[in-house]
Structure 1
Amino acid sequence: MSKHNLTSVDHFGSKQLIKRCAACFWPYRWRVAFAFLSALVVSACNPAIAHLVKPTMNEIFIARDADALIIVPLQFLAVILTKCLARFGQVYVMNIVGYQVLHNLRQQLFSKIIYLPMRFFEESRVGMLMSRVLGDVNAIRQSVPNMIMIIRSICECGMLLGYVIYLNPFLALKTLVVLPLGLLCILYFSKKLRKVGRKLQVQAADINSVTQESLSGVKVVKAFNTEETEKSKFAKESYGVVHLSKKQVLASELSSRTMEFIGGISISFALWYGGSQVVAGNIDAGSFFSFVTALFMLYEPIKKINDANKNVQQALASAERVFGLLDSTEIACEKGGDAAFEPPLGSIEFDHVTFSYPTAGEEAVSDFHLSVAQGEQIALVGPSGSGKTTLVNLIPRFYDVCRGDIRINGRSLPEYDLGSLRRNIGMVSQDAVLFNATIRENICYGMDDVDEAQLVDAAKAAFAHDFISELPEGYETMCGERGVKLSGGQKQRITIARALLKDPALLILDEATSALDTQAERIVQKALDNLMENRTSIVIAHRLSTVLNADKIVVMQKGRIVGMGNHEALLESCDLYNTLHSLQFCQSLSEEDARAMSAGE
């Protein structure tokens, strides 16, 4: 499996997967044991029912025994009652255990995924992850219950087989000679079903991804009038599911019908040969009908083995995908050090930092060296793709540096506990992320025991309190998915209120006003000024007008520092800064200049 994505999956042996699935049910072993004992009781009931056919025929219908007319129906009722209670115990208990295992596995899987590094999410599709957490785990839930069904059916077969041999060994031997063909059929189609099931799970993940991407970007789809294109993409993935499902149904039905035909051969022979023995007077009618009843019952659990095996194969295909992620040593969760970060923030040192993305040929940040003192406001400017956002993402360790080091208060970042480090860093970006929760819950996100006064003060400082108060439900207003019910400026002010409430030692602003109109930008900029007051800040600026008063402006190009100083000094000493300033404040851009800048010249 790739170190950072789920495009492939390791294949495991059936024995290994069954042991891994069984381990999930081990905490509930006593309930599973109860279900297993109940299954054994159910298995014993069918031979008992077949046995009661003999006295029914011989004593009630032939001998016309009045006592048997009372005793045999009562015995039959007792057997049926026992079977019903045992079957209920088996099915109910195993389903309850199955849902508990489902819950535990989903928790384990989500817990691992949520702690994986950012690089993993950039290289994995959300729809595929959802398929693992929802679909694959649900299939595993059925693994042990179906295995118990297989064991119960095997026991049932064994008991019925023993009974027919007890009734007439010679007839049983002749009748059951085709039974090994049925077992070979099950083994052959198991491999087919496992292979198709594995492909079907992958295809289901793909259609989830396409659906999620199309619906999440529905505004772009409509803006570019690409509904037909998206429809075609979905149809292609949907056809893939249908195509594989057809193969699965074909293998399943061929398996079932082959088993049924083999059973038909056996029963037809029993009726012909056994019937001739009854006519000849070698077997009594009661024994013959009891034998045929047991034979009919014998092929029912064989079909159940076949059906349960289909479910087990699907569960094992899903288990490969789930445990391939859970147990992978390559896909590792983020790890921090043992040192707790304690404010105040004295200094940040970028010591010749270099970083590159695995799939990129060039370095995103190259030999970056900078010192930031407490309370300083540092502005990062430069053309798109110059490494500004990548650089600030290294501070909360969304990525780890390839070479060099970043130190806060003299201590290297990997030495800090990740939780304490990130709790003391506030980030506000141009993409204001809100959850489908109330405004109160979004502002207080990640913080406990926030009182009303603190909440309102943070909202007022972010210039959000007034518009929130005008909403019908105030702070209890639902934001909608990704804050869809609010305007861009409103969403940004809520994220600023969230950062104010967090009161971080270090503030990182990543083009926080670039997506806003002039009026909204001015309001948000005022809120940002309140947020940055007396706080160490690193600001990525799209508009130079917002960082003219920064303590230090760092000009970046192709991941390197090409200029550093205040506004006036840079206008004199840095050609790139001068160009950026001219573009924004003085002159229009020619086509020649645009091509040169796009090439990074």
Structure 2
Amino acid sequence: MAENVQNRKHSTWELFKRFVPYFSKYKTTLYLDLFFASLTTLCELALPLILRKIATVGMEDAALLTKELIWQMAGIYFVLRIIDVLGNYYMSSVGHIMGAKIETDMRRDAFSHLQNLSDSFYNNTKVGQIMARITSDLFDVTEFAHHCPEEFFIGALKLVISFAILAKIDLVLTMAIFIFIPIMLVSVTKFNRLMRSAFKSQRNHIGDLNAGIEDALLGMRVVRSFANEEIEKEKFERDNQKFLGIKKQAYKYLAGFHSMTRIFDGIMYLMVILLGGFFILNGRINAADLLAYIMYVTTLLATVRRIVEFMEQFQRGMTGIERFIEIMDTDVDIKDEPDAVELKHVDGKITFDNVSFEYPDDHNKVLSKLSFVVEPGENIALVGPSGGGKTTLCNLIPRFYDVTEGNISIDDSNIKNFTLNSLRSKIGMVQQDVYLFSGSVFENIEYGRPGASKAEVEYAAKLAGAYDFIMNLHDGFDTYVGERGVKLSGGQKQRISIARVFLKNPPILILDEATSALDNQSERIIQQSLVELSKGRTTLTIAHRLSTIRGAHKILVLTEEGIKEQGSHSELMALKGMYYDLYTQGNQEEDTLPEDIDAKKKPK
């Protein structure tokens, strides 16, 4: 994630403005929630008035305190409680569901935005951090979305109504109590800021902690192979203790926040005891008024305390919203141009015109002034030492990255003229690092063309030389491959990924070390299938084993200095240059296999 986006400070008002539009779909639910909130508030505020009525009548004339009056007051209160129960049920169920729906909408938007971010973003952002931002960071949004408008609305309603009723009983006493409320709110502001900062640090570190755990668990075989379990435990313990330290600090701020509110809570009760007692002594108010007064003050203070306690949830929610916004504010580097059109028919001509590329994050220059043309249906092989930019060159065609200078064209039209989806749908890739999704073999092959029939998936598997081994698995095509295909061998995973491209059947193929993970027998099977698949299609092949690309129409020898040599296999061998050296060296390595060496050691 770009550092300037991640470290940018957002004001509370700015976060509110970005969050409020998510309520638009649920306005009716929100208004009903606030309506029921007002009903429950009125029901709660009615009790002191009912008790005051009974106490006043009893004190003024006991004869007037009849059974009918008591039953009448009890009946009113009973009806109010039914309304209160129904209102609270709506708020607790439908209101919370509204919050959950908003959380779901935000997570959907975050995931959708993540799909559009470039490879540069993922190269520089830990997966654990991304996971935390779209999962745990948004958990508190459900409570926030529901309780934020509700708590502040109820609080404001109670403050206004309580002030009006209490002021009618005695304005001086009311003013003496209410004057402390703004002072209290100002006093806890500092703790609010500290809490929000601590919660954000906590969220950031839990993302790092998740990333570390994910790294250790996914690399468990490497950890065990080097017997480094203790090292991983020490690394985890350091991160775990750091997280504990951050939480300790957050709880200290929280404790200070609550202590400050309790101090003012006590001061306001003290004012009621002192002034209320003296006012009764002077005959300014009667005992019934003081009873109602104490109940309203208790309700008022309970409301203030509830709002204050909600501030913890408020800050957690705001932190989650802030981290969500940081994702949404990350620029989409590669996107459709405003006038982009669908790429429909493809002949397959690919043109690199003076193309230069450097990675946007570290400005590491990989390609410089590169120009060549691939004619429709040609099979072009890219060979050369590591670091020459072969994979990067291929990643520029489907616009995983955009060129720094120059242009890439398909059928003489700049690839930026086409929508990303239509461009990538016409390109099939078998990458060096095979990725299988957690699911069945069938689901992983079908991913090449969602909705394909079972017969089509099986045919693609046969073309890729994968059918036989799949049928030998315990559940055949329904076999669970494990996370990242961990239950399969490297060669099996590679053949499934090749079957996926067979099923997609694209007009342009990019084979990035497509057979690198296969044994010699499997390679021969796949190589013949790839030859058949390449017929009539434009194919770019990155090869480690040069014996596999002898039939290519043209071979480009790519180095850090650009295209060093180009031509057919026979032409380059006759040239006896860099390709000749790479080819002869590769053949010597293939001829000297471990079993041959062992055989030589055995006595005749």
- Normalising by structure 1, what TM-score? 0.90
Indicate if the aligned counterparts of 2:5 and 2:329 stay in contact, CA closer than 8 A. Answer: no
Q: What SS class does the counterpart of residue 371 from structure 1 fall into?
A: strand
Cα distance in 2 for residues equivalent to 1:305 and 1:492: 58
- Give the C-alpha shift of residue 380 in structure 1: 1.0
1:388 paired with 2:390, answer yes
Aligned identity (percent) is 31
1:113-141, Cα deviation, whole Å (9 max, x unpaired): 10222222212221121122112333333
Shift of 1:16: 1.8
Q: Where does structure 1 lack aligned partners over 5 or more consecutive residues? A: 589-601
CA RMSD in angstroms, aligned pairs only:
2.5
C-alpha distance after superposition, 1:161-210 (max 9, x if no partner):
22222223333334444333322233332222222223222222222222
CA separation of 1:129 and 1:361: change in aligned 2, threshold 3 A: closer
Structure 1 counterpart of 2:128, one-letter code: G
Aligned partners of 1:319, 1:56: CA distance in 2, in Å?
49
CA distance in 2, matches of 1:177, 1:450: 71
Could you list the per-position Cα deviations for residues 256-290 of structure 1 after superposition, in whole angstroms to 9, with x for gaps in the alignment?
A: 22222222222234234434554666543322222
Residue correspondence of structure 1 range 15-94 to structure 2 within 5 A: 15-59=13-57, 63=62, 65-67=65-67, 68-94=69-95
What secondary structure is seen at the aligned counterpart in 2 of 1:142?
helix
| 1:90-105 matches, cutoff 5 A | 90-105=91-106
1:366 to 368, 391, 414: 368
Show the counterpart of 1:596.
none
Contact 1:43 1:159 in 2 (8 A): no
Secondary structure at the counterpart of residue 336 of structure 2: coil
Amino acid aligned to 1:422: R
Q: How much does 1:587 deviate? A: 7.2
**Residues of 1 paired with 2:58 and 2:482: CA distance?**
73
Instruction: Answer with 276-285 or 236-245: which moved more.
Output: 276-285
Contact 1:430 1:510 in 2 (8 A): yes
Describe how 1:288-437 pairs up with structure 2 within 5 A.
288-328=290-330, 330-332=331-333, 334-336=335-337, 338-360=340-362, 362-437=364-439
> d(CA) in 1 for partners of 2:467 and 2:558?
37
In the aligned structure 1, how far is the partner of 2:275 from the partner of 2:211? 59
Map 1:138-537 onto structure 2 (within 5 A).
Answer: 138-148=139-149, 149-278=151-280, 283-328=285-330, 330-332=331-333, 334-336=335-337, 338-360=340-362, 362-537=364-539
Aligned equivalents of 1:248 and 1:157: distance in 2? 30
Count of aligned positions:
585
What code does the residue aligned with 1:34 have? L
**What SS class does the counterpart of residue 341 from structure 1 fall into?**
coil
- Secondary structure in 2 aligned to 1:433? coil
CA distance in 2, matches of 1:253, 1:117: 43
Do 1:150 and 1:309's aligned partners in 2 also have CA atoms closer than 8 Å?
Answer: no
Partner of 1:597: none
Aligned partner letter, 1:21: F
Rounded to whole Å, the distance in 2 between the matches of 1:177 and 1:28 is 37
**Worse overlay, 448-457 or 285-294:** 448-457
Instruction: Compute the displacement of 1:427 (Å).
Output: 0.8
Cα shift at 1:90: 2.8
Contact 2:138 2:321 in 1 (8 A): yes
Amino acid of the residue matched to residue 49 of structure 1? L
Structure 1 pair 175–497 and aligned structure 2 pair: CA distance change class (3 A): closer
- 1:563/1:574 contact within 8 Å kept: no
- 1:211–1:234 Cα contact (<8 Å) kept: yes
Note closer, same or farther for the CA distance 1:6–1:94 as it changes in structure 2 (3 Å cut).
Answer: farther
CA contact (8 A) 2:116 2:332 kept: no
Q: Secondary structure at the match of 2:449?
A: coil
- The letter of the residue matching 2:8 is D
| Structure-2 residue corresponding to 1:111 | 112
Aligned partner of residue 288 in structure 2, secondary structure: helix
Q: Could you list the per-position Cα deviations for residues 342-394 of structure 1 after superposition, in whole angstroms to 9, with x for gaps in the alignment? A: 44424222222211113456521122222222222211111111111111111
Distance change in 2, residues 1:306/1:333 (3 Å): farther
Matched, 1:128 2:126: no
Q: Could you say what secondary structure the match of 2:436 adopts? A: coil
Question: SS in structure 1 opposite 2:188?
Answer: helix
Change (3 A) 1:55 1:361: closer
Q: Which one is further off, 393-402 or 342-351?
A: 342-351
Shift in alpha-carbon separation, 1:239–1:454, aligned structure 2, 3 A: same
Structure 2 vs 1, CA of residues 520 and 244 (structure 1 numbering), >3 Å: closer, same or farther? same
Say whether the 8 Å CA contact 1:541–1:547 is kept in structure 2.
Answer: yes
SS of 1:364's partner is: strand
Q: Is the 8 A contact 2:382 2:556 kept in 1?
A: yes
Distance 1:521 1:480 in 2: 24
SS in 2 for 1:586: helix
Q: 2:78, 2:422 → 1: CA distance?
A: 68
SS of 1:29 mapped into structure 2? helix
Q: Distance in 1 between matches of 2:573 and 2:138?
A: 60
1:332 Cα shift? 4.4
Q: 2 CA distance for matches of 1:407 and 1:179?
A: 68
Residues 446-482 of structure 1, C-alpha deviations (whole Å, 9 max, x = no match):
4244233322221111122222223333222222221
Give the unaligned 5+ runs of structure 2. 591-604
1: CA distance, partners of 2:192 / 2:472: 63
Deviations 1:220-267 (A, max 9, x none): 222233333333333333333322222222222222222222222222
The letter for the 2-side match of 1:205 is G
CA contact (8 A) 1:43 1:153 kept: no
What do the CA deviations read for 1:292-339 (whole angstroms, capped 9, x no partner)? 1111111100011112222222222222222233245x3445225634
**Secondary structure in 1 matching 2:318:** helix
Change (3 A) 1:243 1:512: same
CA distance in 1, matches of 2:460, 2:588: 38
CA contact under 8 A between 2:516 and 2:544: conserved in structure 1? yes
Structure 2 CA distance for partners of 1:90 and 1:346, relative to 1, 3 Å: closer
* C-alpha distance in structure 1 between counterparts of 2:5 and 2:586, whole Å: 44
Kept in 1, the 8 Å contact 2:209–2:240? The answer is: yes
Q: Distance in 2 between matches of 1:255 and 1:227?
A: 42
Q: CA deviation at 1:513?
A: 1.9
Mapped partners of 1:221, 1:237: distance in 2: 18
If the length of structure 2 is used for normalisation, what is the TM-score?
Answer: 0.90
